[in-house]
């Protein structure tokens, strides 16, 4: 056998096929008009500010340290720090500590916990950067009470234990102010707030949402995504059976 003759064992092998993993459809794709559960998925997207945020949502607790003064103009940081101390002094006593019993804490979590304090800090920091006149104009106590109230009402859902929701009067008393409703209304205009009905407002910035609520949205997202995909698979199988019958 000369060197130009191919050995039988060197027969041409079939080309190797490269497997390209299929990417799961995005929630936006599953929520096209007319799709099953499109309304439910669209509503969940509205809760967090859009489909991209809905797909990227996580349930990591808000534990950011107290604000970095970067971006807060001139003489404002000391004033902002004073408001932060008032938030801690007023909201701190309302914080409920977990019982340590996993079953109970899951079924009946604290109404206000340390994560609410961290969220209130974030709200204050954001407002001090974007709308300093709104947050720095009132007295520190009233500004702190308003930020605390926005933190609470922006992180509640109407179905969750209505009898245990803190009222505005409870918050005003905790901060030793007659009222801060007018301040909270002005601050609310500078925040990403969605109103779904007269009794329900929601902070649509994921970084200002409590991890419990983000976990609830994630659970609902996966539930409706699963139902949509199952419905699509069943529709495909039904159409395939129909084609076989027609043929």
Nearest to 168 by CA among 149, 189, 147, 154: 149
Query: Does the pLDDT value for residue 124 go beyond 80?
Result: yes
pLDDT of residue 239: 39
Query: Does the pLDDT value for residue 104 go beyond 50?
Result: no
pLDDT of residue 57: 94
Residue 163 confidence class, pLDDT cut points 50, 70, 90: very low
78 alpha-carbon distance from chain centroid = 30
**Residue 198 to residue 211: CA distance in whole angstroms:** 24
Query: Does the pLDDT value for residue 174 go beyond 90?
Result: yes
SS3 5: coil
* DSSP character at residue 156: -
**Residue 201 to residue 47: CA distance in whole angstroms:** 10
* DSSP character at residue 191: S
Q: How many CA atoms within 13 Å lie on the side-chain side of 71?
A: 10
Residue 154 confidence class, pLDDT cut points 50, 70, 90: confident
Query: Is the model more confident about 166 or about 121?
Result: 121
pLDDT of residue 11: 57
Residue 194 confidence class, pLDDT cut points 50, 70, 90: confident
Nearest to 124 by CA among 182, 51, 67: 67
Taking the chain, what is the end-to-end CA distance rounded to the nearest angstrom?
Answer: 55
Query: Does the pLDDT value for residue 172 go beyond 90?
Result: yes
The H or E element containing residue 197 is strand 193-197
Please state the pTM of the whole predicted model: 0.77
Least confident stretch, 25-39, 95-109, 161-175: 95-109
Least confident stretch, 21-30, 115-124, 196-205: 196-205
Q: Which two tokens stand for residue 21?
A: 């993993």
Instruction: Report CA-CA distances (Å) from 195 to 9, 126, 191, 212.
Output: 73, 20, 12, 20
Least confident stretch, 129-138, 143-152, 219-228: 129-138
Locate the domains of the chain by residue range.
37-59+210-247, 63-206
Looking at the chain, list the stretches that DSSP marks H as alpha helix, in order from N- to C-terminal side: 27-30, 38-48, 51-55, 76-91, 102-107, 114-130, 132-136, 140-153, 168-174, 181-188, 211-246
């Amino acid at each position: 056998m000369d060197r130009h003759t191919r050995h039988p064992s060197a027969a041409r092998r079939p080309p190797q096929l490269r497997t390209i993993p299929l990417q799961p459809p995005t929630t936006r794709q599953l929520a096209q008009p007319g799709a099953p559960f499109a309304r439910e998925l669209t509503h969940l997207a509205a809760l967090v500010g859009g489909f991209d945020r809905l797909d990227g949502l996580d349930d990591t607790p808000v534990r950011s340290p107290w604000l970095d003064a970067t971006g807060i103009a001139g003489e404002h940081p000391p004033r902002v720090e004073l408001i932060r101390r008032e938030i801690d002094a007023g909201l701190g006593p309302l914080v409920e500590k977990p019982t340590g019993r996993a079953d109970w804490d899951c079924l009946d979590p604290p109404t206000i916990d340390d994560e609410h304090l961290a969220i209130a800090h974030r709200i204050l920091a954001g407002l001090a950067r974007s709308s300093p006149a709104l947050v720095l104009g009132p007295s520190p106590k009233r500004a702190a009470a308003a930020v605390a109230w926005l933190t609470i009402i922006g992180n509640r859902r109407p179905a969750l234990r209505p009898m245990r929701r803190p009222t505005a009067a409870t918050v005003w008393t905790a901060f030793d102010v007659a009222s801060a409703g007018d301040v909270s209304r002005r601050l609310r205009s500078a925040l990403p707030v969605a109103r779904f009905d007269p009794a329900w407002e929601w902070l649509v910035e994921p970084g200002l949402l409590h991890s419990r609520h983000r976990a609830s949205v994630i659970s609902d997202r996966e539930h409706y995504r699963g139902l949509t995909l199952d419905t699509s698979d069943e529709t495909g199988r039904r159409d395939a059976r129909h084609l076989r019958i027609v043929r």
